[in-house]
Amino acid sequence: MNPNPKLKGQSALVTGANSGIGKAVAISLANDGANVVVNYVAHPEDAQAVVDTIKANGGNAIALQADVSNETQVKAMFQEMYKAFGTIDILVNNAGLQQDSPFEKMTLAQWQLVINVNLTGQFLCAREAVIEFLRRGPVPERSRATGKIICMSSVHEVIPWGGHVNYATSKGGIMMLMKSMAQELAPKKIRVNSIGPGAIQTPINTSAWSTPEALNSLLTLIPYNRIGEPEDIGNLAAWLASDESDYITGTTVFCDGGMTLYPGFSTNG
């Protein structure tokens, strides 16, 4: 491990960290010196495997269960975190899911599940983190910012997505949640930003890359001509959480191989 890592002594909570992007973010933050809470809602064995990987790399982590859309469970998780690590410096609001459906067949349950987890879950966790940032105040020897929040959004905060209206709506909502929090909390030295992943190879989108035909079709949307890897997002999250990005707040950083460049227009229009 780096002897002077950029997140040394800081404590981070990553939601939905037992799979895909969240797992890579948790490992990346820990490799940069943060104590990490690996949140999970199901499959504790996967969360423990992430903790074991972090410890094998010389880092420090614990696994905590909570459904991010459940206020009581979220509050209890933060209290458990404070017992283990004392406070929180970095929140990565990553947990998310899809419930896809043609619009006219979308049930209220599908709509509400996606909004509850993807959007309300980010509100509930961010509110707990901000309460602690404000209570504790700045700790200049750890970071120039009093606290950092990173929201996992998507290219679908700006690209409409038919068949996934609930998901795209949740990500559009995250954009204004992030920007409004950033505006309100900047004077308190709390930085709030989003990451907008493009197509990253994880279990959430297996059907988009698991056959050669699906992958080739997907690649027509990606000018950089490769699918993203969870580590692409992990590296970016560690940088956005660090003082190297101290003057950045209220921004979505797209990490998408150019998906938001509207490649359909490269030879037309």
Please identify, using beta-carbon distances, which residue of 60 and 73 lies nearer to ligand NAD.
73
Active-site residue, selected from the candidate residues 40, 82, 167, 224: 167
Task: Calculate the alpha carbon distances from 140 to 144, 147, 208, 217, 243 in Å.
Answer: 5, 11, 44, 48, 11
Please identify, using beta-carbon distances, which residue of 11 and 201 lies nearer to ligand NAD.
201
Task: Calculate the alpha carbon distances from 56 to 16, 50, 230, 249 in Å.
Answer: 21, 10, 19, 33
Q: Give the shortest CB-109-to-ligand NAD separation in angstroms.
A: 14
Q: Give the shortest CB-90-to-ligand NAD separation in angstroms.
A: 16
- Angle, vertex CA 253, rays to CA 251 and CA 257, nearest 5: 160
Q: Which residues bind ligand NAD (CB under 6 A)?
A: 15-16, 18-22, 39, 41-42, 67-69, 94-97, 117, 152, 154, 197, 199-200, 202-205
Of the candidates 7, 89, 106, the one whose C-alpha atom is nearest the C-alpha of residue 54 is 7
Q: Give the shortest CB-89-to-ligand NAD separation in angstroms.
A: 21
Please identify, using beta-carbon distances, which residue of 143 and 199 lies nearer to ligand NAD.
199
Calpha distance 16→116 (Å, rounded): 14
Calpha distance 75→79 (Å, rounded): 6
Q: Give the shortest CB-147-to-ligand NAD separation in angstroms.
A: 20
- Coil, helix or strand at residue 195: strand
Contact 90, 148 (CB under 8 A): yes
- Active-site residue flag, 224: no
Please identify, using beta-carbon distances, which residue of 37 and 68 lies nearer to ligand NAD.
68
Token pair 């410890």 is at which residue? 55
Q: Give the shortest CB-153-to-ligand NAD separation in angstroms.
A: 7
Please identify, using beta-carbon distances, which residue of 117 and 130 lies nearer to ligand NAD.
117
Report the catalytic residues.
167
